[in-house]
Amino acid sequence: MSHTQQDYFSQACENNKAPILEQLLPIFANSRNVLEIGSGTGQHAVYFAKHFPHLSWQTSDRPVYHRGIHHWLTAQPSNNLRSPLLLDVTEPWPLTQKVDAIFTANTLHIMSKAMVEAFFHGVGQHLTIQGNLCIYGPFNQQGHYSSDSNRQFDVHLKNNNPSSGIKALEWIERLANQQGLKLKIKENMPANNLFLHFKKENESFKNQ
Ligand SMILES: C[S@@+](CC[C@H](N)C(=O)[O-])C[C@H]1O[C@@H](n2cnc3c(N)ncnc32)[C@H](O)[C@@H]1O
């Protein structure tokens, strides 16, 4: 199968990268090693790495996305950008040391509930104490969709894959709390998405 540049391009990334950067700037100011889960096209990675020259940005994703990520990393190289790790959240994470920041965008609604649980288990295992977890994407709150378009989007997701779908913020927060993380920032973002910042305040007893 041949790929065109279009295959490796996401308009959503172009639209959301600047508003996400604004949120990340103060949070990652003192971070050193960011692990991105589900880098997708790699567009976010090349953009954010340029704005955080003091830190190392580690891309990762499932194998099918690696070609696209390499494409963007080759087109827009930065010394602080790392080639993608083969990381499926449901498998052991291939990290040699803990990271002090984890970023993921538009992934949790693609994942099944079991995958999201595996994601938080991995975060609990691999994020240092005082480390930052930043998540961008659509979430439901108090049993409600944030917009009609998100309701339609959820139907579309479930038609494609019945185990995917927009998750409840309250459930996400519970999973984070179980791993010793506390929600510090919940910001409304363009296109009815949320930006969430969690800080790891203690080790989960499950990971000790
Ligand atoms: C809609 S794309 C978002 C990509 C990119 N972060 C963005 O904002 O454009 C969903 C991403 O979630 C990733 N993903 C889904 N299930 C995953 C899993 N089990 N482990 C790791 N990544 C997963 C996909 O591989 C894909 O990169």
Q: What would the mean pLDDT of 3-17 be, rounded to a whole number?
A: 81
Q: How far is the CA of 27 from the centre of ligand 1 (A)?
A: 22
| Ligand 1 atom 22: residue of nearest CA | 38
What contacts 133, CB < 8 A, 6 or more positions away?
Answer: 101, 102, 103, 123, 127, 176, 181, 196, 197, 198, 199, 200
For residue 26, name the pLDDT band (cuts at 50, 70, 90): very high
pLDDT of residue 208: 52
pLDDT of residue 4: 53
Residue 91, exposed/middle/buried by CB under 10 A (0-12, 13-18, 19+)? exposed
Mutational pocket test of ligand 1: of 34, 46, 62, the residue with most ligand atoms within 8 Å of the beta carbon? 62
- Has residue 13 got a pLDDT over 60? yes
Measure the CA–CA gap between 163 and 178, rounded to whole angstroms. 23
| Ligand 1 atom 13: residue of nearest CA | 38
Q: What would the mean pLDDT of 19-24 be, rounded to a whole number?
A: 98
Instruction: Quote the longest CA-to-CA distance of the chain.
Output: 48
Token pair belonging to 104: 């993921």
What contacts 33, CB < 8 A, 6 or more positions away?
Answer: 55, 56, 58, 97, 99, 100, 101
Q: Find out whether the beta carbon of 122 lies less than 6 Å from any atom of ligand 1.
A: no
Q: Report the share of the chain in percent with pLDDT over 70.
A: 95
For residue 2, name the pLDDT band (cuts at 50, 70, 90): very low
Q: What would the mean pLDDT of 37-64 be, rounded to a whole number?
A: 97
Distances from the Cα of 116 to the Cαs of 26, 88, 170, in angstroms?
26, 11, 13
Q: Where are the beta strands (DSSP E) in 69-126?
A: 81-86, 99-105
Q: What would the mean pLDDT of 6-10 be, rounded to a whole number?
A: 79
Three-state secondary structure call for residue 203:
coil
Q: What is the CATH number of domain 5-207?
A: 3.40.50.150
Q: Find out whether the beta carbon of 8 lies less than 6 Å from any atom of ligand 1.
A: no
Q: What would the mean pLDDT of 106-112 be, rounded to a whole number?
A: 98
What pLDDT, in 10s, does the model give residues 168-188? 999 999 999 999 999 999 999
CB atoms within 10 A of CB 196: 23
CB atoms within 10 A of CB 70: 15
For residue 203, name the pLDDT band (cuts at 50, 70, 90): confident
> Any idea where the domains of the chain sit in the sequence?
5-207
CB 101 within 8 A of CB 134: yes
pLDDT of residue 55: 97
